[in-house]
Structure 1
Amino acid sequence: MSKKASLDQKQLRAIGHKLKPVVTVAGNGLSDNVLQEVQRALDDHELIKVKIAVGDREARSAAAAALCAETGATLVQSVGNIVLLLKRAKKPDPRLSNLIRVL
């Protein structure tokens, strides 16, 4: 089993702790451009942080769930208005992948 395949939730959160949000979901919500940018970031980096600056806790939860459903990503962690998303790439780029670069 490779190191990449054996990462658990705790290790993913530890890797994500050092990351900065790469996309911000704000007043316009989940527009097509935001979804495309999140998808591109997931394809490149596999593990990303997204800042969701919309409404209250329920609105942020709904936006995070919709984001996961639209992109096929998995929610690793949600703290305040920051969510950590994971979507494994079929052929990750070792220069860009947050999972490979830290191992």
Structure 2
Amino acid sequence: MLTGKQKRHLRSLAHHLQPIFQVGKGGTNDQLVRHIEEAIEVRELIKISVLNNCMDDPREIGAEVAEAAGAELVQVIGKTIVLYKQATEEKYRKIELPKAAAK
């Protein structure tokens, strides 16, 4: 689970990214989730856009895709979804998250 500070950091990194996947009127499916899993393993942080012809709520799509891909939902703003998942392989790790505050 990401802290507010970590989400803020990831949002700032995602600001300049372009969406690499689109969800259309067909909604999400297993093939889309598989492609997202592969891309997020290499990139760690991705954007997904929800097209205007998609009748589903972008927040629901974001939560569904994040859960299916094993990623964290960072932000849903308008029709853009931002997902994060730390790469399992050391060579793909590029993002250093701020440390969570000790209680």
Deviation string, structure 1 residues 5-45 (Cα, Å, up to 9, x no partner): xx722211110001000111111111222111111111110
What percentage of residue pairs aligned between the two structures are identical?
27
User: What is the TM-score with the length of structure 2 in the denominator?
Assistant: 0.77
What secondary structure, in the 3-state scheme, does the structure 2 residue paired with 1:48 have?
A: strand
What secondary structure, in the 3-state scheme, does the structure 2 residue paired with 1:90 have?
A: coil
Match of 1:70 among 53, 68, 73: 68
CA distance in 1, matches of 2:62, 2:45: 15
CA distance in 2, matches of 1:23, 1:98: 21
5+ residue gaps in structure 1? Answer: 1-6
* Equivalent AA in structure 1 for residue 84 of structure 2: L
Counterparts in 2 of 1:8-87, with a 5 A limit?
8-53=6-51, 54-55=54-55, 59-87=57-85
User: What is the TM-score with the length of structure 1 in the denominator?
Assistant: 0.77
CA distance in 2, matches of 1:75, 1:13: 11
What secondary structure, in the 3-state scheme, does the structure 2 residue paired with 1:19 have?
A: coil
CA distance in 1, matches of 2:24, 2:91: 29
